[in-house]
Structure formats: C-alpha cells, structure tokens
Amino acid sequence: MKGPNPRGPVQIDANFLSDPDDLTAAIACVELCREIGNSASLRPFTKREVMPGNLKGAELETFVRNGVESYFHETCTAKMGQDSMSVVDSTLRVYGIENLRIADGSVMPRITTGNTMAACVIIGERAGELLSTAHKLSEVGAALR
C-alpha cells in the first residue's frame, strides 16, 4: 500500500529485469526463438513472423520490457513462521498490526511441489475456521438454523 488508507492505491514492483543480465538473457531468448521460427526447416509450416518482427537494439529492448510478465503463481511473499523473515503467525495474523490476517498463497513458507490452488483453498478454509472461532460465528450460525 502506498499509504495508511487500506482503500488507497497499491504499488506493486515485481522487480522484473532489475538485473542487466536478466534483460540480456531475455533478449537472447527472443533472438533464438526468432532464429528457430524463421529457419528453413520450419518455413513450410509458417506464413510469416507475427512478432516481434525485425526489431533490433532499443526497439527490441522495449519489446522485451513491455512483454515481460510472470506466469507463475506468486507465493511465499509474506511467509508464516517465527523467524525474522516471517510476516504472519500460525493463526494468519500479521506481526505488529492488529486485526489484520493474510489468507492466501503468500503465507506459505515454501512453494508446494504441486499446483498452488489446493494449498490456497486449505489456507482459506483454515482462515474461515480461525475467524469463526475468534468471532463466535459458529454459535450465531447455529442460532440461525
């Protein structure tokens, strides 16, 4: 968050291409893909190059910078634990901030070896249990039934 207002604007800096070697590697990948795609071996299967086209230098750098994104499910950015790098405790409460819990993949201390969706569902279910208990919501639900 850019300020104290929880409804205020959010600033996300994914830090993509912050190291010059990352940009060099990304440009090399694009050039390799263009070389393979435009090779004589693949010519019978293609009509034309769609993108990036014959870009070089600053234009190719701009193409790469504008196109970079993650296809991963970001996790482990607000890890649960008790060490100095931990952000939340075992009840999903954020250390040092009252009445704030985090219930998503960011609390995982390590990324799962499988799809993160299942782990996120479990984290959400656990958050529901914790909130129901903390606010005695199960008693209210039982009274309404």
Question: Residue 17 is which amino acid?
Answer: L
Distance separating alpha carbons of residues 83 and 78, to the nearest angstrom: 12
- Does the annotation count 73 as an active-site position? yes
Name the region of 57 (left: φ>0; alpha: ψ -120 to 50; beta: rest). left
The sign one gets for the Cα dihedral 83, 86, 89, 94 is positive
Candidates 73, 91, 118, 138; catalytic one: 73
Q: Which residues are tagged catalytic?
A: 73
